[in-house]
Amino acid sequence: MSDSDGAGEGPGLYFRLFNEIGIIEQLSRAAFQARLPDGVLVSHFAVLNHLVRVADGRTPLELSNAFQLPKTTMSHTLMLLEKRDWIEMRPNPDDKRSKRVWLTDAGRAFREEAIKSLGGEIGWLAEVFPPEEAQALLPGLERLRVLLDARRD
């Protein structure tokens, strides 16, 4: 098998790794989207999840950079989240021209409910893909995420 087929240690191996991650992302995104309320997208959930994971109080610009999206796209997402009372925009004490994004109790509760809603969809996984195997994958995937995040512009 040549390196381009994914054997060895060259680009083919890493392409194969990213290809599997991409397919898994597409499948999991579709399953999750099907369980979200009408009008709520996985991208909306992702912002709430990010604010829980890295702490809220981020500026819209910090969020657009984190998601590698245009500021206008992030502003639209934040407007929708604010309309649902899942976030609130507060003045930025460090820069009076900008705001900071804070999760509301309703936003935290929605995030938790959305995660719970996946139970039926992914509960079967534990029977065929034991939790120990899933746990064993996490350190490598987290390290890969950190490495890739550190290299972006």
Q: Is the pLDDT of residue 53 over 70?
A: yes
- Span 12-28, mean pLDDT? 96
Selection from 61, 99, 62 nearest residue 82 by Cα? 99
Structural domain boundaries of the chain? Answer: 1-34, 38-120, 123-153
Q: Which residues of 30-61 are buried (b: 16+ CB within 10 A; e: fewer)?
A: eebeebbeeebebebbbbbebbeeeebebbbe
Of 1.10.10.10, 3.40.50.12280, 1.20.120.140, 3.40.50.980, which CATH number belongs to 38-120? 1.10.10.10
- Neighbour-count burial of 67, counting CB atoms closer than 10 A to its CB (0-12 exposed, 13-18 middle, 19+ buried): middle
What global pTM score does this model have? 0.85
How many residues are there in the chain?
A: 153
3-state SS assignment for residue 90: strand
3-class SS shares of the chain: helix, strand, coil, % to 5: 65, 5, 25
Digit-coded pLDDT (tens) for 55-102: 999 999 999 999 999 999 999 999 999 999 999 999 999 998 999 999
C-alpha torsion 148→48→82→75, nearest 10: 10
